[in-house]
Amino acid sequence: MADSILALEGLRKRFGGLTVTDDVSLSVAPRGIHAVIGPNGAGKTTLIHQISGTLRPDAGQIRFAGREVTHLPLHRRARLGLARSFQITAVLPGFSALENVALAVQAGAGSSFRFFRPAAGEARLNAAAMAALEQVGLAPRAGVKAGALSHGEKRQLELAIALALRPKLLLLDEPLAGAGPEETERLILLLGRLKADYAILLVEHDMQAVFALAEAVSVLVYGRLIASGAPEAIRADPAVRAAYLGEDA
């Protein structure tokens, strides 16, 4: 446990009478992909919100990079190296792809209380942003307004933004959702490349992708973790098969 980048201990969240996160404990290794799967309504997104800081848990603890962050707001956790992508694409539609990423670079490049120099002309920000766009294969579309990108390209842009933060952990909430077959293939290849350098917590519906990519899988059902371990073990787990994989297999 000591060398994990993220550790959840006894996390609990209730909405009225409904327990959406029920005593969840989880630990994520500093490299590779840890997938969280579960049927609709299992509380995956609620869990992501608590990890990223948009929701406060009612009980339990979140440790990130050796620090307790349970009560830190979203923007403070981001500063510590926690980058998240959004399930519903949240790129800035009026900004070019490059400027979307440059804003992320800017977050880690000194004060943003600077008032007179045009930010679009800062070579240092643009170079790092371009590098992140190249990493996800979006460099040729750098000048295009994000609102005009295809759905798959927006997902790539989300990744580039997260990478530009040079994060310790990437929280990816359904990065493949709504992508076409070709785009999905491209994104899976990309995630496979990224996991060598980053810790990734991946929430995903695409089982093929999950079992092709993840080093560890945790299964969430009605807010509860029913199993956690290597993909082969999860695939063989009778409880998981009964609760979840049965639908698909």
Partner 1 sequence: MARWREAALPLLLFALLGAAPWIGFGEGYVLTLLARAMILGIAALGLHLLVGGAGLVSLGHAALLGLGAYAVVALDAARITEALWVAPAAIGGGALFALLTGAVAVRTSGVQFIMITLAFAQMAFFTAGSLSVYGGDDGYTLYGRTEILGRRWLEDRLVFHYLCLGLLAASWGLVVAILASRFGRVLRAARENALRVAALGFNPAPYRLLAYVIAGGMAGLAGALLANATEFVAPSYLAWQRSGDLLFMVILGGLGAPHGAVLGALAIVLLEEWLGHWTAHWRLIFGPLLILSVLFLKGGLAGLPAQLRGAGRG
CB of 158 to partner 1, least distance (A): 10
Query: What's the chain's length in residues?
Result: 249
- CB-wise, 47 or 165, nearer to partner 1? 165
Largest CA distance in the chain: 62
The burial of 166, by beta-carbon neighbours within 10 Å (0-12 exposed, 13-18 middle, 19 or more buried), is given as middle
Q: Which two tokens stand for residue 6?
A: 């993220």
- CB-wise, 74 or 190, nearer to partner 1? 74
Residue 128 binding partner 1, by CB under 8 A: no
Which residues contact residue 132 at a Cβ distance below 8 angstroms, ignoring those fewer than 6 apart? 101, 104, 105, 160, 161, 163, 164
Residue 104 binding partner 1, by CB under 8 A: yes
Task: List 15's β-bridge partners, or say none.
Answer: 18
Tell me if 60 sits within 8 A of 12, measured CB to CB: yes
Q: Which of 160, 161, 221, 243 contacts partner 1 by CB under 8 A?
A: 161
CB of 120 to partner 1, least distance (A): 7
Cα–Cα distance for residue pair 235/205, rounded to 1 Å: 15
Q: Which of 4, 27, 46, 52 contacts partner 1 by CB under 8 A?
A: 52
Q: Which of 19, 95, 168, 183 contacts partner 1 by CB under 8 A?
A: 95
CB of 227 to partner 1, least distance (A): 30
Residues at the contact surface with partner 1, assessed by CB under 8 A: 52, 54, 73-76, 78-79, 83-84, 86, 90-95, 99, 102-104, 106-108, 111-120, 122, 161, 165
